[in-house]
Structure 1
Amino acid sequence: MTSNEGSPTAQISKPTAWKPRWRTDPTARPSVSLYAHKEIGARLKAETTHTFTLPSSSEEDPSPTKFVCIFNHLKANPQAPGELWTRHHLDLLDLNLASERPEDPLPMFSETFKGGGASYEFAGWYEIESWELVKGGSAKLKKFIQEREESKSVKSAQTWAHALASDWATVKLRKAPEDVAKRLGDPMRRVETASTSVS
């Protein structure tokens, strides 16, 4: 009987997908704080269904117009975080430009992996510098949808048709001034500290 111990096939094993240690070791912790999508919405009293989010409507403000945070979804925007695409709240973008809300930037939360749970990290404070309308059905929109990683996921024909027919906007973002960002800190921790410091 011959042994295959020294053969190339015997020595090569199938590579496994890399995972950060804190995903597989319960004693490890990530180097940044991660938050669940719904947790962010609950803390900031905001909707969580769109990239540029509004406060949850209330009796005092049934139709809010001022964005409260930005969700940077994984694989949805090739040029993130400097440029994000959206097809929601286009009529409110002008009202939320940096020129209209000086020293009032938006916290961005970036998705770090797919799979639900606590997957968003606070990525800093950003201002909306400008935006450009991209008409539904245009060559630019088709190119964007075809090339982004998110478009490789399985979706219904109706979903694709609606996305291609809708008007979109490309939104240019810039980091808030360092002194402003430092003063504001992590909005999740800031809210938590404020709520627990009351005796």
Structure 2
Amino acid sequence: MTKSSSSHTTSTSSQQSQKVEAYYQLHAQIYDATRWSFLFGRENLLDKIPDLPSQPHILEIGCGTGKNMERLSYHFPDASIVGIDLSPDMLQKAKKRLGSTKDIELKLGQYGKQSFNYDSFDLILVSYSLTMFDDNIEDVFEQICKDLKPQGYIAAVDFHTSPFNWFCKWMEMNHVDFSEQLFSLFKKYFSPSDIELKKAYGGLWTYFQFVGRQS
């Protein structure tokens, strides 16, 4: 990659981050009250995760209002859990939800190469976050592979696609990518132990659940 193209990539990534951050300045206030009607498969995803080692290290990318972290703390009570999100408004909601819950850390910022100085993670969770990343999504997958222990698990749930162009365009206005590439990348980078594609609202769109290890 040339210097100019690298600069363009960084600029594009920064612009997308700013758009998403601005989007959640409003939507953080109504997120938990409204997203139940869209974000299917989050709750039972955790039931698909195999047993983890004692005192596991867990990361959630795009932790939002902390709802998944609350469930993770219940499922893995001896875990050290880190959540990262680029929206201060969403993290403020998470802080109120989680309070002073032991062994949970919230980190403001965009997930990437400079995000962590921790040991590798036994589990990385991504729930309806990666479809909102910019075009350099393979860089994110490569970083996930670096942050995940060799025998660690990736668990993901996210939008897949829709047969209706109007719906894809509407979701794009809400910063969600419906291009299908995400599901393919999970299968490229990780060997699945549990994988499902499911329809929402009779096929208005499909979403996937994926649990696996590095290929």
**Normalising TM by the smaller chain, what interval?**
under 0.3
TM-score by length of 2: 0.26
Specify which structure has the higher proportion of strand: 2
Give TM-score, length-normalised by structure 1.
0.27
Higher helix share: 2
Instruction: Answer with 1 or 2: which has the greater Rg.
Output: 1
